[in-house]
Structure formats: C-alpha cells, structure tokens
Structure 1
Amino acid sequence: MASSPATQDARTHDLLRTRRSVPPINLDGPGPSPEELGSWLAIAARVPDHGKLAPWRFLVIEGEARHRLGEVIARTHAADFPDADAKRLDLERGRLAHAPLVVAVVSRAGPHVKIPEWEQVLSAGAVCMNFVVAANAAGYATAWLTEWFAYDRRVLDALGLDPAERIAGFIHVGRAREVPSDRPRPDLAQLVTRL
C-alpha cells in the first residue's frame, strides 16, 4: 500500500530538517549499487538550469581511483611543503579514500550571451544538494566538501578538468559509523527580513 501524501510530506520534511553531514573518516561501506548511484545522479541533474545548459558534470570516484587520486594529492602537498612528515602525507593520501564513493560535481559555468555565470554556479550548487538529499533519503550518509586540492590546478589537471572548470564539491557517500551531534543552526530571526 502506498503511503499517503501527508506521510510522504512528513518524511521529506523530517529528512530536510534533520540532515547532518558525517565526516568522511566516519563513513564505511558498503557503498551504493550502480542502480542507486544512477538514480541519485538523475535526481541531482533535475535542478533549475536557466537555458538548459547543464553547466555541470560528474566525476564518479570509487575503488582504486580513490587511492590513485590520493597519491596525486599527497605528491602535490609534498611539492608545496617538502618538510611535511609521513603522518601529514598519509592524511593527504587518504582524503578521498575513507568513503566507498566520492562524486565530484564539476561546475562548467562560463560567459554566455543570455545566462549569467552566477546562475550557472548556483545550478551546480543545487546539483550538489540534490545529490546529498537523494543519498540521505536512501539511508546513506554524506559529506559535501571541497578542501584545498579542489582549488589546486595540478590536482584539477589530474582529474581531467578543463581550465575553465571548477569543483563545486566532492560528495563523500557511505554508511555512517557515527553521526556527530547537531551543530548550532542559524537564528532565523537574524536572517529573515519581511518586506
């Protein structure tokens, strides 16, 4: 028997009201099935997109690719900080290796005759949030992060990004070993203006 619209609405509101990021170090497998991932990517792509530009794309990072890219991140850090100790390099090497799946959302925003670049950037952010909510609704935990290497051209080149592309977020997906307690949330009375 299908649940009523009121029940579905209550579940959706509860998910959005209680959603919490889980640090990647607290994410374990198993990861999602290919079918689950495909569903989330389709949901992620269903966002406002003025001009139907799809000013974003996805990089699916799983399996050995997480470790291969971790080596790139560690080498890049070592090149900038030659005195970095082994512990720090291990931390850098493991940046993408904790969760069984990491999806990088790549923003392809750029100049357009009609569509402001800012709207394209916002669309990429909406893609990230849709993906996070879809994964959370399926019972997985997520963390949407960038970290320093999302802004390093050497790492972006290793990821295959074009010079004009940027990382909107690395979304780490797995099973929560531990969910942190909620953090203080913004005081809406300080943020809402009624006109």
Structure 2
Amino acid sequence: MLTESLLQGLDARRSVPSKQLGEPGPDRATLLRMLASAVRVPDHGKLVPFRFIHLHGDARHALGDALAARTRALDPGAPDAAVEKDRSRFSSAPDIVTVVARLTPDHKVPEQEQLLTAGSVCFALLQAAQAFGFGAQWLTGWMAYDAHVAQRLGLVQDERIVGFIHIGTPRLLAPERERPDPAALLTVWNPDA
C-alpha cells in the first residue's frame, strides 16, 4: 500500500555521519531531481525563501582552507588540531548542498515562517537523498553563523545559512537510535482547564 511505503520511507530516515560518506555522490541529474523533491515544502506567500549552493570537488577543499584561515584569524592560538578539523570539514562527502534562507524582512509572512520553510527544505533533501540510496547529514556548526564565511560563499544581506547537507555513498549502515515516544509529547488542550 502506498501509505505504508511512504511511512516506511519516513521511518527509515537516519543521518549518516559526514565522515562516513564517500564516492560516488549524485550526478547532476540526480541532484536536480532530489532538489525538485526538496522544494515541495510549505511556503506561505510563495516567497521561495531559499536557494542552494553546491560544493563539489575542489570547491569543498577551498572552503575548508577558508575555514582554517578563519579559525586562525578568530583565535591565533588555536591548536593545530582544531585548525585541521575545520580544514577537513567538507572533504569527506563528495557533495555538499548549502541551503540558504533568503529572508524578506517586513513582509506579511514573518521571517520566522520563511526560515522554517528553508529548514523544511533541508529535511526534505535528506529524505530525497535517502530515497536515491545515498546517505546524508544536515550540519551547521560555527561556520553557518559566521559573517566572513557567508560572504565567502556569496551570501548577501538578509540571507542565512540554514544547513550544509552532506551527501554521498554511506560507508556504514547507520544504526537506529532511540526515538522519542510521540504519545509522551502529545497534550490535548482543554479550553475549560
């Protein structure tokens, strides 16, 4: 039954650590097909408050070099291990899709809703990647909130990095982890209480 297979797809979603993602990544046609699914998110006002930056090949290493330099600039005494960790952040998965929120200030659709739409794109892209047999992980880290990194990636005013979606072929089967019990999270509002 279609309903059951869709639910199984949602229930099977797991993050694969970016360091466990290798070649091959999606080819361009597959990536575009994944993005076509990812953009089918609630979008109040049809603002399309998101865009994508694809990091692939040497671009991943160039961004890693920029992160290492930024780490040194922020903390000249940073341990070499911390600098090298930042340098290698984008070197494992063959493809990284940076999801950028494009916010329209002072619009009738609050910026929070626009940001939530962009976040929904991240989740939908994880689902699409897994549907194609790839592993994926949604990461942020300090670099997602750093103005110099944003500028290096070409973001403009009112744009924010929502996530770096690392995509590749899993080198391991991601284990299941304990999930919260929805019944324990659900309350029923009583207007008479």
Q: TM-score, normalised by structure 1?
A: 0.92
Counterparts of 2:33 and 2:74 in 1: how far apart (Å)?
39
User: Equivalent residue for 2:50?
Assistant: 56
Supply the RMSD in Å over aligned alpha carbons: 1.3
User: Equivalent residue for 2:41?
Assistant: 47
Aligned pair 1:133/2:127, yes or no?
Answer: yes
Find 1:150's aligned residue among 141, 144, 147.
144
Counterparts of 1:179 and 1:156 in 2: how far apart (Å)?
33
Compute the displacement of 1:118 (Å): 1.4
Q: Please give the residue correspondences for 1:17-36 in structure 2 after superposition, counting only pairs within 5 Å.
A: 17-36=11-30
Find 1:98's aligned residue among 86, 92, 96.
92
Residues 85-94 or 136-145, more deviating: 85-94
Report % sequence identity: 45
Counterparts of 1:163 and 1:34 in 2: how far apart (Å)?
29
| Structure 1 moving runs of 4+ over 4 Å | none
User: Equivalent residue for 1:3?
Assistant: none
Secondary structure of the 2:46 match is coil
- On the 8 A contact 2:105/2:158 being kept in 1, the answer is no
Q: Please give the residue correspondences for 1:150-169 in structure 2 after superposition, counting only pairs within 5 Å.
A: 150-169=144-163
User: Equivalent residue for 1:65?
Assistant: 59
Counterparts of 1:113 and 1:120 in 2: how far apart (Å)?
10
Q: Tell me the amino acid that sits aligned with residue 6 of structure 2.
A: T
Counterparts of 1:40 and 1:117 in 2: how far apart (Å)?
26
Q: TM-score, normalised by structure 2?
A: 0.93
* Deviation per residue, 1:62-94 (Å, 9 max, x gap): 011000011111111111222223332221101
Q: Tell me the amino acid that sits aligned with residue 173 of structure 2.
A: V
Compute the displacement of 1:38 (Å): 0.7
Q: How many corresponding residue pairs?
A: 189
Compute the displacement of 1:59 (Å): 0.4
Counterparts of 2:45 and 2:32 in 1: how far apart (Å)?
24
Secondary structure of the 1:183 match is coil
